[in-house]
Amino acid sequence: MGKYFGTDGFRGEAGIELTEEHAFRIGRYLGYYLNKIEKSDKSEVCLDVDGEKINTQMKKLGAIVGDFAEIGCGSVLNPGTIVGRNTTVYPLVSVRGMRKSNCIVKSQSICINKQSTR
């Protein structure tokens, strides 16, 4: 990694075209660097469930997804998100926090009960 990155940013000759190999190395390094930053955070992940903070005692936590939940294409479940059982998340929605069971998440602020749609 030191060959391409240092205190002055990306190293190489000026005016030379960026190749696929350079792009791959940049991506690989950024993944390594960002993962290193995340691991250096010593705080534990806390979940907010119905207004109550729950300490997971974990330094990393992705999302918790209930049985039969459907997550739309291109949706993002932010770290610590809880999606309840039989819940549907529309495509391209960024979700954070807790989403109850049997609902449809249309956006971050719109979540309707599935029984009311029938």
Do 19 and 68 share a domain, yes or no? no
Do 36 and 64 share a domain, yes or no? no
Residue 88 half-sphere exposure toward CB, CA atoms < 13 A: 9
> Which pTM was predicted?
0.57
- Would residue 32 count as lying in a domain? yes
- Would residue 29 count as lying in a domain? yes
- Compute the chain's Rg from CA coordinates: 20
- Would residue 51 count as lying in a domain? no
Q: Tens-digit pLDDT profile for the chain (118 aa)? A: 445 555 545 555 666 666 677 667 766 666 665 555 454 566 777 776 667 787 777 777 788 898 899 999 999 998 778 898 999 999 999 998 888 899 999 998 898 998 755 5
Q: Which domain holds residue 13?
A: 5-40
- Would residue 48 count as lying in a domain? no
Q: Please name the helix (run of DSSP H) or strand (run of DSSP E) that holds residue 97, with its range, or none.
A: none
Which of these, 48, 102, 112, 47, lies nearest to 70 by C-alpha position?
Answer: 102
Do 66 and 104 share a domain, yes or no? yes
